[in-house]
Amino acid sequence: MLFWQILIDGFAISSLYALGATGFTLIFGVTGVLNLSHGSIMVAAAVAAWAVAGTFGFGAYGGAFVGIATGFVLSLATYFMIVRRLQETRSIREEEKEIFILTATLLWGIMLQEAIAYLFTNNAKTVLPIVDGVVSILGVRTPANEIFTAVICWAAIGCLWGFVNRTRAGKALLAASMNPRGVTLLGFELSNIYIAVWAVYGALAGIAGVLLGMFLGVSSYSAGPLTASAFSIVVLGGLGSVSGSLIAAYVVGYLETLTAYLVSPAYRAIPALLLLVVVMYLRPRGLMGRR
């Protein structure tokens, strides 16, 4: 019974982690940017969905739509207002740009987080779920929302996979992650590819944020830990490797669930961190890393 419960709960959480980390790793793989406002964008999407669905009474679907749109808009704003300006400026040496982008996205994340806290308070918010009720799987009473979360996560990841592997734009995007110069030489405008990546990322972060809001709830305090967990998962899987992040998301998700059920919820983050440290020492490139 406990076994099945862990299996089912862990699967839902891991799927959510996987979706959140996929966008994060995509941005890194293609544009080389570690976006530290990641958690804030997810929270903003969730809070927008919560406000529209609940406070303004537009229902679960309206909320979800606005939430995803919020992620999309904020992601593009991050790119145009901050990342691109820093990438194109000549007053910062190339080798220093990384720390500037990290610092700037971090500050931007804090701004979003504080704006949310100011406008909507610090309280935890649960987004009106699209499906509710409870179903019984293998004797485990599982909220339908949990199944819905896992299904949507995998549908979104599947769409991303199809986009990257089956469409021309997606292929170009994948190629840009391997060799940006090569893509330029074949006549693709790199700047368009970057905009496309940030747009895709925004949608993924929006979906992940809204689902998180329905499943576990969010508050403005969640922003930092969300960024940190995405970062850890992505590094564990190997920076830039989407398949690596998917595997790592499940490893971390199940480790946390196991610890929470079998030891104590207070310790849930520790085994994953320990694993991360071990991997960093033994295999610094991560499980599937190529850089």
Which residues here bind other proteins, judged by CB under 8 A?
Answer: 34, 82, 85-86, 89, 91-92, 96, 98-100, 102-104, 106-108, 110-111, 114-115, 117-118, 168, 171-172, 174-175, 178-179, 181-190, 224, 228, 231-232, 235, 239, 266-267, 269-270, 273-274, 276-277, 280-281, 284-285, 290
Query: Which of 23, 42, 15 has the alpha carbon at shortest distance from 252?
Result: 15
Choose between 138 and 274: whose C-beta lies nearer to other proteins: 274
Choose between 7 and 171: whose C-beta lies nearer to other proteins: 171
Choose between 57 and 290: whose C-beta lies nearer to other proteins: 290
Choose between 114 and 132: whose C-beta lies nearer to other proteins: 114
CB of 42 to other proteins, least distance (A): 17
CB of 174 to other proteins, least distance (A): 7
CB of 61 to other proteins, least distance (A): 30
Choose between 32 and 143: whose C-beta lies nearer to other proteins: 32
Task: Please identify which residue in the block is written with the tokens 């970057």.
Answer: 194
d(CA 18, CA 9): 14
CB of 135 to other proteins, least distance (A): 35
d(CA 67, CA 45): 4
Residue 67 main-chain phi, psi, to 5 deg: -60, -50
Choose between 2 and 282: whose C-beta lies nearer to other proteins: 282
In sequence order, what are the residues at sequence separation of 6 or more whose Cβ sits closer than 8 angstroms to the Cβ of residue 251?
236, 272, 275
CB of 40 to other proteins, least distance (A): 11
CB of 184 to other proteins, least distance (A): 5
As a dihedral over the C-alpha atoms of residue 63, residue 64, residue 68, residue 69, rounded to 10 degrees, the angle is -40
